[in-house]
Structure 1
Amino acid sequence: MRELKADSLFRPVFEGRAALAWSLALLWIVGLALFSNLSGTAMAMMLFFAMFMMVLRYYQAAQVWDYKVRLSGAAIDKVSTSQLDGVQKQLQDSVWLGWGWEWQPSHTQQAYDILKRDTEEIYPPNWFLRLKGVKFDPRGMKGRQWVHGLGTEKDVIVPFTGFAGHTAIAATTGAIKTSLYKLLVYQFVRAGDTVIIIDPKGDKDLKAIGQDAATACGDPSRFISFHPAFPSQGVRFDGLKNWERESQVASRITQIISAGEEGNNFIDFCWQVITSIVACMKIIGRRPTIASILDHIRALDNSEKLCEDVLVQWLTPRVDNFSSQINEKIQSITSAQNAKGGRAKSTFAEKAEPRLLALIAFFKEYQGPKPAEIDSLIGNLESNREWFGKMIVALTPTLTKLSTGDLRGMLSPDYDDPTDLRPIYDMGKVIQEGKIFYMGTDALSDPAVASAIAAFAISDLAAEAGSLYNYTEPGQKRQKRVHLLIDEGSNAICAPLIEICNKGRGAGIHVYLAFQAFSDIVTKMGGDVNAAKRFMANMNNLIVGATQDTDTLDLISDKFGEVDVVSANRSQGSGQKTEDVGLEYSATKSISFSEKNRVMIPRSVLMSMPDLQYVAVVNRAKIFKGRIPILEFQN
């Protein structure tokens, strides 16, 4: 077994005393050489040895004092975009994450040793700090400043490929997130990548980051925004524009429905209803939107009109003398209804217009192959309306949230309205044009609608990811990377986001999910802790600022792992006894060393991280302790 040693980091600087003693010895030797008759060779050897020992001890003393000064931490720096551009030229497709060092087990040992000591023992006197150029008092700063001083900092550089496994950002309010977004977004924009920011709070600072990054990179037009509270100031968003099969639209919408207590059977029925409506709209050349689908589900008249139009278009080329035959059938149905005293109000066959009933009769009598979607639409109309309403109970509220007030025109845009000059975008167009797309969802004012908007946008991105993945040939270079930044990530977690995190890497989509507390993610997952952990397992990278939540600390500790830490155990005792020879005294003192498995980074360190400082796991292996500057944009 190897010998265990514990080196005290806060002992007196004995090397300084030794250096002073050797300096005096050097002066004594010089005096001796001047006033004695010793040989020149002997004097030279003595001078050389004394000078060597003096320099060695001064060097060792300087190292100890530099370490003590380094423990005072670092002040918050500012960096301009022009300075960052100079660094970026040397990075070669990498991201600069400030300054820091790679955390090793030796740093863990030092951290646990320092945590045992009072603040006054850790930091040198203020006069000495000022002498060494430190312009702040670490004792009065926020957080434990000494943590960053455990290592010697250099540039922290992470390849873009390192972010392909998605990144979680955990930090309390005001710790690091906004400044980190600024640093990341500017570098992504400068690289020509697409940046999509989903901001549940509608933070003005986060929107300004996108605008400033576009301006600083020389193309302000790259920035576009969407916010339900400011409908006239942004773009319109069509999340249902790009699709190849009707089922894709249905899947996109049902993905954002929370099944709740209704169960998957209800969601499956909603999927079938949407598929039939979209397929019939496609037959007659109408563009499906959230609003139009809702109108056909909520109002029976709209569904009947859709059914009538699609049947006319489908039957006309297939039925000989269609006009005359349909008129005869209408007269026959009308006569039968009149014989019964007019149209009753109990069943669909009694309530519907004779023309629609005649068209349905022709469709059912047709002997050739018939579209299943039309048959399904007819089945929906003929079903009991009360039962039908219960089956789509999960669908109607979701579509209503996305079609209320100004949202109707913002999320279900009218391409033929010449008076509305707001541009229309979808995720495919955003990616194709390399935009910086900021979407505020206004969760503070209306959290239910905000969650639906975020899920709708993410579902469109998930569909676009599928297209990018399906239609990129092996070996073919993909388009520029797509970076999806989500602030307050627990508000935006939905089935499409989980799909992107599971499979988005192949489409070149990198997710950056920021959150304050792991418990918020658990709540979003319906209280299922295991489901929340499975979701977080998709995040290969983890950047942690100061955090206070105990569940989050547990998650982070598991991510960082454990190492062996050496601890010293001291014991001493004394005793006395009376013998024939008189009174005898005895005393014992011993020091033993042992190893104990401890978390790599102490929880108290994570809880008290200074502002703009972080600990990060990158590529599932390397752990960095770093700090970032405040980035100042320059046009």
Structure 2
Amino acid sequence: MASTYTIETLLRPAVELYTAEVCFTVAALCVFAPWTLALTPLFGLVAALGFLALGSMRLKQALLVLRYRRNIRRLPHYTMTSKDMPVSNERLFIGKGFRWTQKHTQRLMDTYLPKFAPYVEPTPLYQHARRLEARLEFAPFPLNLLAKATAWDVPLNPARPLPPVGGLPRIHGIEPSEHDVSLPLGERVGHSLVLGTTRVGKTRLAELFITQDIRRKRGGQHEVVIVFDPKGDADLLKRMYVECKRAGRLDEFYVFHLGWPDHSARYNAVGRFGRISEVATRVAGQLSGEGNSAAFREFAWRFVNIIARALVALGRRPDYEQILKHVINIDALFVEYAQKYFAEHDPKAWESIVAIEGKIDRKTLSFAMKDRPLRVVAIDMYLTQQRISDPVIDGLRSAVRYDKTYFDKIVASLLPLLEKLTTGRIAELLSPNYQDLEDPRPIFDWMQVIRKRAVVYIGLDALSDTEVAAAVGNSMFSDLVSVAGHIYKFGIDDGLPGAGSGKVAINVHADEFNELMGEEFIPMINKGGGAGMQVTAYTQTMSDIEAKIGRRAKAGQVIGNFNNLFMLRVRETATAELLTNQLPKVQVFTSTPASSANDSVNGKTAFTSNTHDQIQSVSVPMIEPAHVVGLPKGQCFALIEGGNLWKIRMPLPASDPGEVMPKDLQALADSMRKGQAANTDWWQAPGYQALNESLPADLVNDFRNMASGEQAA
């Protein structure tokens, strides 16, 4: 075989078949007609064995060449059902592939040489068949049968169409001997970054990882799985439900979706905290801190912190609705807390406050206090007279002493954020009513999820409202960072009887994470590994991260915290260079034909000639950005395990009739696929029936007819 030489040549006719054919023919003669070769029957059998061995060896070599030529044009199908997916307690299965070495760079470069084009490019028959199908697309019967015959995807069809994955099959076909590729679970704590443009297999890779994370069971316990899905992928939701059912984890499965509040669980992003100041950090952390906005952000943090401390002191759990309510009107909270404080420390204070209130002349008040209720002014005066000092009441006093107009300007950046999180039915999900025992929708928080080893699907409906999706995603990330810090210090069972300091693997999958990330994402990937966080982030390009954060250095800081890189097809050269620039250069060999002719000095020979091939080595990158751009769908380069480069293709999903969802989630998934609104009866908002009763009947009918017409359109 040519593989033993400097330059390997597999793109050529399989000449070994001729040797194999001769060997098998002679072996047959040795057995059935040894006299034709002047052999006795006994020596004929011995010779036949020798010829069979030589023929088998040459046939194996020929099959290798034929398989290599086939893979260069078309890879074999690779499908797998979910239940057949291998699940290991030591490794994470990725797909089939091979480790990329200098040999593969050499083979890939050879495929671009003109002399090998007949073995690489589509055959003339294939090209004619595709042109014929285009011409006969709208042809009448029976001409259209010819187009259907050429488009029939079966091995017997000589003009069989290629699978609709695009790209260059040669990138993976250069290695016929592929095998299962997996990542040691110990490497996942270093976090993984998946880059690829739209519709090239990122979600499929996510399904592959999530399926194994849900079904994995180490030490007798499952792992935590949290999936952020901004756009809302119905197939991903279905996959998570089916795998939870298969693993017996339906009781631990939560679905949170902003677009379908009727089917969604509820979540309070600021309801659980280790320190009260975390509430203000989670809210104000989503505001811009660049330039002049930094001062407004700091004031918003202080003001939210004042409100949160007062709510906790009153025995209430903070939520976005209460914070918004008191940001708009801090006076009511000031009076309510004063009532509680005086009831505990100075029961007779109200007699003095009422007396002060009756003597107040607004003309003598300061400009900032003229528009405040008299009761607020009286309480402030009493506190001044008695020199009462309490941290919470002092903070509330400083807030009510601001001029109302000036105060509204300072919190102008805070109000839009809070309104995004409390508008419409989103308020039901993010500010749950803990006292409503008739609401069947569960309420969860991250510590509860981690302790239960639960599975959570977060659908943020970013296609409908990007701003709200980003705000909710940011708040969840911020809350998750806070919980990770608590787990790092005290473990997951802190505060429980017999609590230990153990940790559990927390698998966080963030699709389109550039839409959700903020400053709080950096400490999650930088320090979250100590709490068991294993983040797998999916996005399109490096520019998406940079555009979201706003600074190239910050984007580099984020990317630098991912130890494992999976690069699918991308369209941005800078993104492809994130992989290619980390790879070494290798030496490849080129063959240059050379010939010469010389006149002969003696009279016997007219001239002499010489022909030979010169082999030279050239240093080239292991792969080029163009190779990343040319990847077919469902394939990737993976830089894992300390910089080892692997070429991998993921299995295509095979249909499984046993995967059935309940009716409510099936309806939700169908609506997600259609891209419809959360509730097709969107006009039937709360209070709609009461509105009908107050409107004339003809107007109500006209309104219904109009809505029906819009649906039909």
Aligned AA (2:391): A
Taking structure 1 as reference, are residues 207 and 307 closer, same or farther at Cα in structure 2, changes over 3 Å only? same
Note the C-alpha offset of 1:307. Answer: 1.2
CA contact (8 A) 2:490 2:501 kept: no
Q: How does 1:196-275 map to 2 (within 5 A)?
A: 196-275=226-305
Q: What CA distance in whole angstroms lies between the structure 2 residues aligned with 1:168 and 1:137?
A: 39
Q: What CA distance in whole angstroms lies between the structure 1 residues aligned with 2:528 and 2:574?
A: 27
Counterpart in 2 of 1:304?
A: 331
Counterpart in 2 of 1:519?
A: 543
Q: What CA distance in whole angstroms lies between the structure 2 residues aligned with 1:399 and 1:136?
A: 63
Taking structure 1 as reference, are residues 158 and 351 closer, same or farther at Cα in structure 2, changes over 3 Å only? same
Pair 1:381-2:406 in alignment: no
Q: What CA distance in whole angstroms lies between the structure 2 residues aligned with 1:188 and 1:36?
A: 66
Q: What CA distance in whole angstroms lies between the structure 2 residues aligned with 1:478 and 1:277?
A: 34
Which of the residues 208, 219, 239 maps onto 1:183?
208
Moved more, 276-285 or 72-81: 72-81
Aligned AA (1:163): R
Q: How does 1:243-392 map to 2 (within 5 A)?
A: 243-299=273-329, 303-319=330-346, 321-331=348-358, 333-334=359-360, 337=361, 342=362, 347-366=367-386, 370-392=389-411
Which of the residues 88, 94, 97 maps onto 2:94?
97
What SS does structure 2 have at the residue aligned with 1:564?
A: strand
Note the C-alpha offset of 1:571. Answer: 5.5
Taking structure 1 as reference, are residues 377 and 523 closer, same or farther at Cα in structure 2, changes over 3 Å only? same
CA contact (8 A) 1:207 1:438 kept: yes
Taking structure 1 as reference, are residues 530 and 587 closer, same or farther at Cα in structure 2, changes over 3 Å only? farther
Counterpart in 2 of 1:484?
A: 508
Note the C-alpha offset of 1:20. Answer: 4.7
Q: What CA distance in whole angstroms lies between the structure 1 residues aligned with 2:640 and 2:64?
A: 30
Deviations, residues 124-162 of structure 1 (Å, cap 9, x unaligned): 9899xxxx9798878734332233233312222223222
Counterpart in 1 of 2:553?
A: 530
What SS does structure 1 have at the residue aligned with 2:190?
A: coil
Aligned AA (2:419): T
Counterpart in 1 of 2:78?
A: 77
Taking structure 1 as reference, are residues 48 and 432 closer, same or farther at Cα in structure 2, changes over 3 Å only? closer
Aligned AA (1:297): V
Q: What CA distance in whole angstroms lies between the structure 1 residues aligned with 2:599 and 2:38?
A: 62
Aligned AA (2:561): N
Work out the number of aligned pairs and report it: 613
Taking structure 1 as reference, are residues 199 and 25 closer, same or farther at Cα in structure 2, changes over 3 Å only? closer
Note the C-alpha offset of 1:538. Answer: 1.5
Q: What CA distance in whole angstroms lies between the structure 1 residues aligned with 2:318 and 2:428?
A: 14
Counterpart in 2 of 1:625?
A: 647
> What TM-score do the two structures reach when normalised by structure 2?
0.76
Pair 1:554-2:577 in alignment: yes
Q: What CA distance in whole angstroms lies between the structure 1 residues aligned with 2:441 and 2:459?
A: 17
Moved more, 378-387 or 42-51: 42-51
Taking structure 1 as reference, are residues 23 and 202 closer, same or farther at Cα in structure 2, changes over 3 Å only? closer
Q: What CA distance in whole angstroms lies between the structure 1 residues aligned with 2:122 and 2:46?
A: 38
CA contact (8 A) 1:478 1:508 kept: no
CA contact (8 A) 1:568 1:591 kept: no
Q: What CA distance in whole angstroms lies between the structure 1 residues aligned with 2:64 and 2:79?
A: 28
Which of the residues 113, 116, 139 maps onto 2:113?
116
Which of the residues 599, 602, 605 maps onto 2:624?
602
Q: How does 1:430-579 map to 2 (within 5 A)?
A: 430-472=449-491, 478-526=502-550, 528-559=551-582, 561-568=583-590, 570=592, 572=594
Note the C-alpha offset of 1:321. Answer: 3.6
CA contact (8 A) 1:227 1:441 kept: yes
Deviations, residues 301-346 of structure 1 (Å, cap 9, x unaligned): xx11211222232244444742433334334x42xx1xxxx45787
Counterpart in 1 of 2:178?
A: 153
Taking structure 1 as reference, are residues 224 and 30 closer, same or farther at Cα in structure 2, changes over 3 Å only? closer
What SS does structure 1 have at the residue aligned with 2:435?
A: coil
Note the C-alpha offset of 1:249. Answer: 0.6
Q: What CA distance in whole angstroms lies between the structure 1 residues aligned with 2:638 and 2:578?
A: 13
What SS does structure 2 have at the residue aligned with 1:351?
A: coil
Which of the residues 174, 196, 210 maps onto 2:199?
174
Q: What CA distance in whole angstroms lies between the structure 2 residues aligned with 1:234 and 1:282?
A: 27
Q: What CA distance in whole angstroms lies between the structure 2 residues aligned with 1:469 and 1:181?
A: 27
Q: What CA distance in whole angstroms lies between the structure 1 residues aligned with 2:516 and 2:37?
A: 87
What SS does structure 1 have at the residue aligned with 2:458?
A: strand
CA contact (8 A) 2:31 2:41 kept: no
Aligned AA (2:533): I
Q: What CA distance in whole angstroms lies between the structure 2 residues aligned with 1:35 and 1:326?
A: 128
CA contact (8 A) 2:269 2:479 kept: yes
Note the C-alpha offset of 1:196. Answer: 1.8
CA contact (8 A) 1:427 1:464 kept: yes
Note the C-alpha offset of 1:188. Answer: 1.2
Taking structure 1 as reference, are residues 62 and 373 closer, same or farther at Cα in structure 2, changes over 3 Å only? same
CA contact (8 A) 2:228 2:509 kept: yes
> What TM-score do the two structures reach when normalised by structure 1?
0.85
Note the C-alpha offset of 1:109. Answer: 1.9
Aligned AA (2:382): F
Note the C-alpha offset of 1:496. Answer: 2.0
What SS does structure 2 have at the residue aligned with 1:140?
A: coil
Aligned AA (1:558): N
Note the C-alpha offset of 1:502. Answer: 1.2
What SS does structure 2 have at the residue aligned with 1:201?
A: coil
Structure 1, gaps ≥5 residues long: none
What SS does structure 2 have at the residue aligned with 1:539?
A: coil
What SS does structure 2 have at the residue aligned with 1:533?
A: helix
Q: How does 1:125-144 map to 2 (within 5 A)?
A: 140-141=162-163, 142-144=166-168
Note the C-alpha offset of 1:22. Answer: 5.3
Taking structure 1 as reference, are residues 296 and 195 closer, same or farther at Cα in structure 2, changes over 3 Å only? same
Q: What CA distance in whole angstroms lies between the structure 1 residues aligned with 2:307 and 2:244?
A: 41
Identity %: 24
Relative contact order (C-alpha < 8 Å, sep 6+): which is higher?
A: 1
Q: What CA distance in whole angstroms lies between the structure 2 residues aligned with 1:35 and 1:185?
A: 67
Taking structure 1 as reference, are residues 588 and 360 closer, same or farther at Cα in structure 2, changes over 3 Å only? farther
Q: How does 1:417-436 map to 2 (within 5 A)?
A: 417-418=436-437, 420-436=439-455
CA contact (8 A) 1:613 1:628 kept: yes
CA contact (8 A) 2:73 2:121 kept: yes
CA contact (8 A) 1:78 1:632 kept: no
Q: What CA distance in whole angstroms lies between the structure 2 residues aligned with 1:363 and 1:606?
A: 69
Counterpart in 1 of 2:637?
A: 615
Q: What CA distance in whole angstroms lies between the structure 2 residues aligned with 1:49 and 1:206?
A: 57
Note the C-alpha offset of 1:95. Answer: 2.2
Pair 1:407-2:429 in alignment: no
CA contact (8 A) 1:171 1:515 kept: yes
Note the C-alpha offset of 1:36. Answer: 9.0
Counterpart in 1 of 2:669?
A: none
CA contact (8 A) 1:182 1:631 kept: no
Q: What CA distance in whole angstroms lies between the structure 2 residues aligned with 1:243 and 1:31?
A: 88
CA contact (8 A) 2:253 2:454 kept: yes
Aligned AA (1:15): E
Taking structure 1 as reference, are residues 552 and 352 closer, same or farther at Cα in structure 2, changes over 3 Å only? same
Q: What CA distance in whole angstroms lies between the structure 1 residues aligned with 2:553 and 2:587?
A: 30
